[in-house]
Structure 1
């Protein structure tokens, strides 16, 4: 009787121990280069469409506060003021970048100027499920010219 209970239990424990999550990280050491790199400041001329604002929305849902059940996988890269950490944390910050990506996805624009964000967090009973929704509105801008700053 003990063997009938013990054998499946050992098999289940071995299966659980054999499976799991793995994270792989690759790093590369670089040798310091004995050269001075001088960055040249540049100026950019944009053509801005002020007739209408582009809108983009991104949402993400979390179960128990940490298991993401839905959300975007594509984000705009933005190193400017919009990329600063928001008051509501990293999740909303990522959704801001995803909303910019959505706003510019089907246009020829290079950038969204004067972005205005609206962030909503909906919490369901007992905090079991949370939904974050971010909407951005801004003017689409196309780069017309890039030239070195003479100053």
Structure 2
């Protein structure tokens, strides 16, 4: 008998497999868990799956030792929410920023809608300001009041 609890666990397992694929930098494996018509909802509007794949590849090229740690994962209905810590070294160009060689950490919050074992929608918010500070592009004094 299939229960709601089983479905919630299955949805969380999909998200964990995505994180595991990120941690070995396997974009093809990540894409196995995205529905072909999935949409990422970001700051700049909706992004289709093909563009998501390109963005993931570009990020991995800039931060080839990326590591994502799951701090919290909660599932309800068809949604899985995550609180993640991303750690990496800036070894390649990123946002027109030449490699700095700096180690960075960034908080990332995400929500994924899962249907039939595939991500159909994703919303994500990253602490990009803190990332830019760690890359030396923003004076840390500017952020003191927001900590």
Bigger-Rg structure (1/2): 1
Q: Name whichever structure is richer in helix by fraction.
A: 2
For the criterion TM > 0.5, the same-fold answer is: no
Comparing both chains, which one has the higher relative contact order based on Cα–Cα distances under 8 Å and sequence gaps of 6 or more? 1
Query: TM-score under structure 1 normalisation?
Result: 0.29
Query: TM-score under structure 2 normalisation?
Result: 0.29
